[in-house]
Structure 1
Amino acid sequence: MEDCPLFNAGIGSYMTLDGKLEMDALILDGTTMKAGGVGAIRNLINPIRVARLVMENSQHILLAGEGANKFAAAHGFHQVDPNVLITPYSKERLASAKEGKAIFTPPEKTDITEETEYGTVGCVVIDKDGHTASATSTGGINGQIAGRVGDTPIIGAGGYADDQLGAVSTTGQGEAIMKSLLARHIIDVMATGQNVKDSIMHCVTQMDKRFNGYAGAIAVSPKGEIGIYHSAPQMAWAYVQAGKVHYGFHSDQHVTEEL
């Protein structure tokens, strides 16, 4: 998904107010409970690969900015020309932001429309042995201040994974997600026995009311139950189960096709 210019992650990431790209990513292994993240990393096509490298080849969990780039370079990741990552659409979105406000301000929930765009890509996995994992990657928010790091690389906010509890990946208004530790909150509610979708709905709704933000999440339980919910008008999602592909975009859409 980072390689697809249609998503706000990797190629196609949104631009900061100063015309740069700063990307965040997080990966978690629910079996080992290891995790790795990067924040405000620049000029790399696949931040999630660097996040995995942090998880597997360092004693740290989160590296940010210049340090994250230096770590990536030391392990053979070559920086690319920023223009490789910037799409015409990203330029258009930044121009629109500059025509409005000089500094990004998160929209109120009541301001959300079909044209409100913040994209994060993520996935959750459970294998036949019950091992779980979660990965999340984003280009941030269009027109954000340089150096801003959102919820994505924060454990318990942008994602969480634990074989005993399940796996979650979130998207939405990062500042609200961080305040509510949304991913961990969802996992905790799932642990009470509530089904996965209802757990997500409960936590997202509570976050909306308390922090006036919006969000969406995908999650899977240790038994393989899948849940998806979002409070914004749209969130592209898909999963594969029992030989069928399930997918949707709008809140009331659920399409099923045979593989």
Structure 2
Amino acid sequence: MSRRPVIVIHGGAWAIPDKLATGSIDGVKAAATTGYRVLQDGGTAVDAVEAAIVVLENHPAFDAGYGSVLNANGEVEMDAVLMTGHNLQCGGVACVQNIKNPIKLARAVMDKTDHTLLVGLGSNQFAEEIGMEKVSTDDLVTEDAKAEWKEFMKFKTTVNVLFRNRDVKLSGCDTVGAVALDNAGNVAFGTSTGGITAKRPGRVGDRSGGYADNTSGAVSTTGHGESIVKVCLARQITFNMEQGLSAQEATEKALQSMANRVQGSGGAVTVSKDGDIGKHFTTERMAWSWIKDGQLHYGLNPGEDFSQAV
């Protein structure tokens, strides 16, 4: 059944500082516009999601690709995942290093292997086998990321404190993500992140960074990965939609449940199988945008919803 194309973007749920506010908004708007053009040209939902996330990975305001944070060893370890609701195919990479666009590598895992996840050295070896561009750590790290790493290493701040202490304003968790619905009625999600500053080497937070199923819809999550995993947040949102809730209601209910059960904060963007849109966050801010019927909506602070034609 033909559908009107929809794309929804998030740039991460956290206490985004004012100096990154404009860049975050501009980035999610650019990503949505790029993904929507793919859909308008007849591209698939998974094509649109990948294209949108590449824009976010290349933007320095976000903790994904260029802009990734540093782990406790001062290294970059990135995670990315992609899934199509058409046949539940998915691909992901974790703790990958020296790759410009981890979402492209996740797509290659989905399309070119029989696996769903490659990690560490294995993911980098696969990247070399398929000729993916390799970059240096310096090509991925901004000066802000270096300064934040020094601050958190000085105080030995743990992951749990970063996400539970609302007074810690620099605790970035700006995973980026996208969901889309294409003309053919297929949904897809993608999520990409550099993780948490000063995280333990080998820590993977995005192994359940979303879900996509044509029978319900698609979700991309952001926030404290450990909390998201514990409650299977994305699958909970799609389940809520299967029970008759709107995309917005399903998203809000699941995030509130996560806060109640494990005291975790985060956000999510959602599109239902019928093109209904949801977006919600329980952190201080989340950069988001969506396009449907040629109209772009975007915001950063609670209650915001600006719009313009595209």
Q: TM-score range with shorter-chain normalisation?
A: over 0.9
Residues 1:192 and 2:243 aligned together: yes
After TM superposition, where is structure 1 displaced by more than 3 Å over at least 4 residues in a row? 102-110, 112-116
Cα distance between partner residues in 2 of 1:232 and 1:78: 35
Question: Aligned letter for 1:217?
Answer: A
Which stretch has the larger CA shift, 10-19 or 96-105? 96-105
2:80 equivalent to 1:25: yes
| Segment drifting more, 81-90 vs 95-104 | 95-104
Identical-pair percentage: 37
Deviations 1:227-249 (A, max 9, x none): 00000010000011111110000
Equivalent in the alignment of 2:233: 182
CA contact (8 A) 1:114 1:234 kept: no
Tell me the distance in 2 between the aligned counterparts of 1:112 and 1:230: 17
Mapping of residues 204-223 of structure 1, within 5 Å: 204-223=255-274
The CA deviation at 1:103 is: 4.8
Q: 1:70-114 CA distances to partner (integer Å, 9 max, x unpaired)? A: 011101113211100011011011011112116544435352565
Counterpart AA for 2:257:
Q
Q: Is the 8 A contact 2:299 2:305 kept in 1?
A: yes
Task: Check whether the contact 1:7–1:121 (CA below 8 A) recurs between aligned residues.
Answer: yes
Aligned pairs, number: 255
**Structure 2 CA distance for partners of 1:240 and 1:112, relative to 1, 3 Å:** farther
Task: Spell out, residue by residue over 1:10-41, the C-alpha distance to the aligned partner (whole angstroms, 9 max, x if none).
Answer: 00001001110000000001112100000000
SS of the residue 2:300 aligns to: strand
> Is contact 2:86-2:186 (8 Å) kept?
yes
Q: d(CA) in 2 for partners of 1:88 and 1:112?
A: 23
Output the amino acid matched with 2:203.
R
Tell me whether 103-112 or 11-20 shows the greater mean CA deviation.
Answer: 103-112
1:74 maps to 2:129:
yes
Q: Distance in 2 between matches of 1:213 and 1:175?
A: 8
Structure 1 residue 43 and structure 2 residue 98: aligned? Answer: yes
Contiguous gaps of at least 5 residues in structure 2: 1-55
Match of 1:97 among 152, 156, 164: 152
Within the candidate set 34, 52, 55, 2:110 is matched to 55
Moved more, 192-201 or 110-119: 110-119
Structure 2 residue matching 1:147: 3-state secondary structure: coil
Deviations 1:112-157 (A, max 9, x none): 565442111000000122111100000000110111111x2x2xx2
The counterpart of 1:164, out of the listed 215, 230, 235, is 215
- The equivalent of 1:88 in structure 2 is 143
Structure 1 equivalent of residue 68 of structure 2: 13
Do the aligned partners of 1:122 and 1:135 also contact (CA within 8 Å) in 2?
yes
Contact preservation (8 Å) 1:17, 1:103:
no
Contact persistence 1:158–1:171 (CA under 8 A):
yes
2: CA distance, partners of 1:72 / 1:39: 12
More helix by share: 2
Closer, same or farther: CA 218–112 of 1 in aligned 2, 3 Å: farther
Structure 1 spans left out of the alignment, 5+ residues: none
Report the AA paired with residue 230 of structure 1. F
CA contact (8 A) 2:176 2:222 kept: yes
After superposition, the Cα gap between the structure-2 partners of 1:115 and 1:82, relative to the gap in structure 1 and judged at 3 Å, is closer
Contact 1:159 1:183 in 2 (8 A): yes
Distance 1:113 1:197, change over 3 A: farther
Secondary structure (helix, strand or coil) at the match of 1:133 reads strand
1:90–1:108 distance in 2 versus 1, CA, 3 Å: closer
The equivalent of 1:236 in structure 2 is 287
SS in 1 for 2:268: strand
Per the alignment, do residues 169 and 134 of structure 1 end up closer, same or farther by CA in structure 2, a change over 3 Å counting? Answer: same
